[in-house]
Amino acid sequence: MFFNTSINASERFRFYMDGSLTESNASHEEFVFEMPEEHPANADVSFDNMPGYSDLDYRMLSLTYGASFQIDRDSRLYGSITVMDLDDGQPYVYGDLDGKLTIYSAGMTVDF
């Protein structure tokens, strides 16, 4: 799900906000691998735990708040803050990946 909104506070000043919510789920069914009668000695790998390794459940919320100011016809200053929040519903293989990230950005655009 994604949304975007923009408010022109004045002729030169604008506020904006973007947001997205992403949910990802994935898993494997039981994996059946029949070993041939003649096989190398080190080929006794078990796939019994594979469904548990592949049980993925992530949810990420991302929000960006920003503002821009038009200096003149060809240039604009901007600044924004992006906050991301990841929720790992099934921490297993790589550990618990829950976390938050905040990104600050500022800059200037020039048309020519």
pLDDT above 90 coverage of the chain, percent: 56
pLDDT of residue 89: 80
Average pLDDT, the chain: 86
Which CA distances in Å does 105 have to 39, 45, 66, 85?
57, 49, 9, 18
> For residue 44, is pLDDT > 70?
no
- pLDDT 10s digits, 63-99: 999 999 999 999 999 999 999 999 888 776 667 778 9
- DSSP alpha helix (H) spans, 1-70: 50-53
| pTM of the predicted protein model | 0.69
Alpha carbon distance 105, 75 (integer Å)? 17
80 burial (CB, 10 Å; 0-12 / 13-18 / 19+) is middle
pLDDT band, very low/low/confident/very high, at 38 (cuts 50, 70, 90)? confident
- pLDDT 10s digits, 7-31: 999 999 999 999 999 998 887 777 7
